Amino acid sequence: MGAAIAVLLHAPLAFLPPAVAQPKRPARSAASSHEILAARAARETARSEWMRARWSGTLSALRDAQGRWDLATERYRSILRSTPLPAHVPRNQREAWIAVAMDLAEAGEWPRTLGLLSGALAEERSLASLRGLAKGRLESPAAGLRSLGWPPDARGGSFSEPSSTGDEAALYVAATLSDSAGSRRAARAARWRLLKEGRPASARAWARYTLARALLGGGESLLAKAILSKEPSRTNQETLLLAEITAATGDTATAARSLIAAATRGELATADRYAAAKRAAGWAQGAVLDALGEREWMSFVRALADVGEAPLGLRVMEGRRAPPPDAAAASERETARAFLLYRARRYEAAAAAYRELLSRRGAPSSGRADLALGLARSVRALHDFRAADNAFVLAATWDSAGTTGETAAWERAREWEDQKTPREAALILRWARARTRTQALAAAVRVHEAIAWLRAESLAAADSALAGPGAEDARVLFWRGWVASAAGDSSRAADAFRRAWELDPWSYEGVRARELSGLPVDPTQGVPDARAKHAARPVLPPPPSARVLDLVGFRDPSLELLRSCAMGESEARANGCVDALEAKGIYRVGQADIDRDLRLRFPPAFAGAVFGAAEEESLSVAFLWTIMRQESGYNPAARSRAGALGLLQLIVPTASRLAGRAISEDSLLDPGLNVRLGAMYLRQLTREFGDLRPVSAAYNGGEEAVRRWLAARPRIDDLWVELIPYRETREYVKQTYAAMRRYEAVYEAAPSR
């Protein structure tokens, strides 16, 4: 096998495209070609104006610039599709026509792209990969390969020593066209070239993975395994393939172990951990499962619970035949089983398991507190208030100085808020206050005690709950101001609101404190040296090779090059790469401290789609951007395990209902469609609920839940927000409201209602 690798490593690596004869074409008017360049220049001018508005203008200026850019772009596309191309171009216009050729390819105008690349730009070597791809698409893969001069020995020449890097686009096209042509040797040779040291990591990862796949398909599993095994920094995709190959050779134990190691790596994305854990569970059975060490096995079980596969974790537990090595391991197994039962929503079984564990003697108080908290949560899910309350008290008592104890005290108090009268809840919250030490939790308990007294119509008791010693907290200060305002003490209210705003200006409480007291809007408040505008922003264009890589379909190396440039080049070049990344829908990347550069932190993402949808549905642009930020982090390819897709995380049934036709999963990854349908849904919610706080609550927690909450408390105010029963939804509403106000402040927009 080593000899085979050595042979492949010395496969032909360098190639130059053969000379292309200039075809004879009829003369075309200079005016026609000038029209193309003039339209492109107009589009670039409009784009520059948009960029100035994006980095230093107001929301109104940005909207106007977007309209001009859209018009200029549409006119350029129309001219690009229909105007005759030149037979030759002057030297001083060559760079402009190279850009036009790439624009044609980007627009999918492959016949016209090839016409320009085989005619006026026939000798342009920087576009050799694009020319080869166009020929491969329009004529045949063999024609594309001939254009590239791949493989080198097909020209009858001898192998030559390669340059180190820079031809990744051509090699990618050579590899994929060779695949299409059925030329396995040529395809392998191109991939081996891409494996050379010094190339972008993502290009090498693609070459390793696809080469190993091809070798596996050709029955060369040992060679495929060797290629992947020698790379220490494998991608998760490569790790999964290596495990598959390892299992195919009969070593399922090693395959399972490698995936278990991947599944327990906390730095991996949840989706990657999920894929690794699911695959490992398929192999970790019988003798393979018993061969795992106790620590390794327990880590695997916990990983399955972490990625939402508690039922599978239970099956893995039940499938292990090896006995626990000692009493401590046996106890850990039983505790893990009770937790998995709870996570699997088998609440009766979980409660029984926790009761059995609590009936035994010998466990330390802190350990028994964890068991009591598990029991409390299990019986709470069964709607047994009394049993849950008793278990919460036990947990708080047994761990009176620890995290479990104060968590139990807080959860007990929240149950009383939901189930009992406001006065009864206030008394239990006061009990919980004496048992909390963490600053954030102590502040939350004080706030909720005050809210309970407000619901009981006792302003004095609410004020008392918020008074007293303790570190200043924006939430406590906000509610002090709120209570003072309700009591008619405007001076004390103004002072408390001002301190809350100064302490945490862009939390929900800080924003509401500013609004209720009429303090001036300052987007940089609370962030030293922050800037909301770029007075001057030098820009140089990104490396042309990044665009060529993207146009031929080699997207990951293109993005890798742009990210590296955005983080490490001179300021002007880095700015150009930031702009190029944003044009591809990738935001918040750059050299700047993202906390201080507010325009980078709060981008006008997918502005064309957002402005259009907001106008169509009469929605706030800032609100749409904020929902996008919360739902997907501006990632158009975002997928949740619940099946939500795209920028605004829509599910297929909802999207199909809104569209009035069947909508596929893939189509929801299109930013324009996703934003349009998401805006339609938000408009429906706005018509029903009015205030943007219940609208965002319904978007996160469901319409029916919000209807119930409004039926219980029709008045929408800060109390209503704080009383949202779902913690995730409550925090979502607060974060959305605060981020929306930040967007409005950064882009100097009028506040949304």
Summarize pLDDT for 97-123 with one digit per residue, the tens: 999 999 999 999 999 999 999 999 999
Give yes or no: residues 131 and 172 share one domain.
yes
Select from 584, 601, 618 the last residue of a domain.
Answer: 601
- Mean predicted confidence (pLDDT) in 488-511: 96
Q: How far apart are CA 665 and CA 451, in angstroms?
A: 44
Pick the residue with more confidence: 605 or 525? 605
Task: Tell whether the torsion through CA atoms of 274, 278, 284 and 290 is positive or negative.
Answer: positive
Compute the mean pLDDT over every residue in the chain, rounded to the nearest whole number: 90
Number of domains in the chain: 3
pLDDT of 162 higher than 50 = no
**Is residue 578 a part of any domain in this protein?**
yes
Confidence of residue 288 (pLDDT cuts 50, 70, 90): confident
As a whole number of angstroms, the distance between CA 274 and CA 303 comes to 8
* pLDDT single digits (tens) 709-745: 999 999 999 999 999 989 999 999 999 999 999 999 9
Where residue 674 sits, what CATH number does that domain have? 1.10.530.10
Are 110 and 230 in a shared domain? yes
Chain position carrying tokens 């495209």? 17
Q: Fill in the DSSP letter of residue 152.
A: G
Classify 18 in phi/psi space as left (phi over 0), alpha (psi -120 to 50) or beta: beta
* Residues contacting 541, CB < 8 A, separation 6+: 576
Cβ-count burial of 453 within 10 angstroms (0-12 exposed, 13-18 middle, 19+ buried)? buried
CA 507: distance to chain centroid?
22
Extract the tokens encoding 316.
Answer: 């893995």
Is residue 75, in this structure, part of any structural domain at all? Answer: yes
* CA–CA distance, 368 with 540 (Å, rounded to integer): 63
pLDDT the model gives residue 263: 83
Q: 578 with 631, same domain? A: no
The reported pLDDT for the residue numbered 5 is 41
| 8 Å CB contact between 180 and 136 | yes
| Lowest-confidence pick of 173-177, 357-361, 408-412 | 357-361
* pLDDT for the residue 267: 63
Mean pLDDT within 576-580? 96
Can you tell me whether residue 645 is helix, strand or coil? strand
Burial class (CB in 10 A: 0-12, 13-18, 19+), 422: middle
Let me know if residue 272 belongs to a domain: no
299-304 long-range CB contacts below 8 Å, 24 or more apart?
Answer: 299/260, 299/264, 300/260, 300/263, 300/264, 301/336, 301/340, 302/264, 302/336, 303/260, 303/263, 303/264, 303/273, 303/277, 304/263, 304/277
Q: CB count, 10 Å around CB of 523?
A: 23
What's the CATH code of the domain at 234?
1.25.40
Cα–Cα–Cα angle for 148, 154, 157, rounded to 5 degrees? 95
158 part of a folded domain? yes
Residue whose C-alpha is closest to residue 557's, from 52, 40, 47, 194: 194
Locus of tokens 């009028």: 750
Q: Residue 269 pLDDT > 80, yes or no?
A: no
The answer to whether residue 721 sits within a structural domain is yes
3-state helix, strand and coil shares in percent for the chain, rounded to the nearest 5 = 70, 0, 30
Single-letter amino acid, residue 333: R
Give the SS3 label for residue 251.
coil
Token pair recorded at residue 294 = 């106790």
pLDDT at 158 (0 to 100):
29
| 712 & 584 share domain | no
pLDDT, residue 188, reads 95
Structural domain range at position 715: 607-746
* Run of H or E including 385: helix 385-398
Q: Is residue 318 exposed (0-12), middle (13-18) or buried (19+ Cβ within 10 Å)? A: exposed
Final residue of a domain: which of 248, 263, 288? Answer: 248
Q: What is the pLDDT of residues 450-476, one digit of tens each?
A: 999 999 999 999 999 999 777 789 999
**Local confidence band at 605 (pLDDT 50, 70, 90 cut-offs):** very high
Looking at residue 753, its amino acid is R
Question: Is residue 341, in this structure, part of any structural domain at all?
Answer: no
Percent with pLDDT over 90 in the chain? 75
Residue 161 is predicted with a pLDDT of 38
Range with the lowest mean pLDDT among 36-45, 269-278, 536-545?
A: 269-278
> Would you place residue 627 in the very low, low, confident or very high pLDDT band (cuts 50, 70, 90)?
very high
Both tokens assigned to 496:
């408390």
Predicted structure pTM score: 0.88
With 80 as the cut, is the pLDDT of residue 160 above it?
Answer: no
Sign of the C-alpha dihedral computed for residues 288, 292, 298 and 299 taken in this order: negative
Per-residue model confidence (pLDDT) at position 31: 55
Same domain, 54 and 98: yes
| Helix, strand, or coil (residue 650) | strand
Residue 425, domain member (yes or no): no
Cβ atoms of 532 and 745 within 8 Å: the answer is yes
Across 11-20, 501-510, 639-648, least confident range:
11-20
* pLDDT recorded at residue 36: 96
Among 203, 224, 248, give the residue marking a domain's end.
248
One-letter identity of residue 579: D
Percent of the chain with pLDDT over 70: 93
C-alpha span between 66 and 73 (Å, rounded): 10
Is the model's pLDDT at 258 over the cut of 50?
yes
Q: Tell me: pLDDT of 156 over 80.
A: no
309-325 tens-digit pLDDT: 999 999 999 998 889 99
Question: 17 falls in which pLDDT band (50, 70, 90)?
Answer: very low
d(CA 314, CA 95): 63
- Extract long-range pairs of 458-467: CB within 8 Å, 24+ residues apart: 459/483, 459/486, 459/487, 461/426, 463/487, 465/426, 465/429, 465/430
Q: Tell me the two tokens of residue 86.
A: 């030149």
Tokens 């880590």 appear where? Answer: 299
Together in a domain, 99 and 225 = yes
Whether residues 591 and 646 fall in one domain: no
Separation between Cα atoms, residue 297 and residue 320, nearest integer Å: 9
* Phi, psi (deg, nearest 5) at residue 197: -55, 145
pLDDT at residue 16 above 70?
no
**CA-to-CA distance for 177 and 144, rounded, in angstroms?**
7
Same domain as 674, residue 741: yes
Residues 660 and 563 in one domain: no
- Is pLDDT at 261 greater than 70 in this prediction? yes
Residue 256 in tokens: 């399972």
Q: What is the pLDDT of residue 193?
A: 94
64 and 42 in one domain?
Answer: yes
**587 and 628, same domain (yes or no):** no
Q: Which residues pair with 645 in a beta bridge?
A: 639, 650
Mark whether 133 and 243 lie in a shared domain.
Answer: yes
Predicted confidence band of residue 265 (pLDDT cuts 50, 70, 90): confident
370: left (phi over 0), alpha (psi -120 to 50) or beta: alpha
State the pLDDT at residue 154: 55
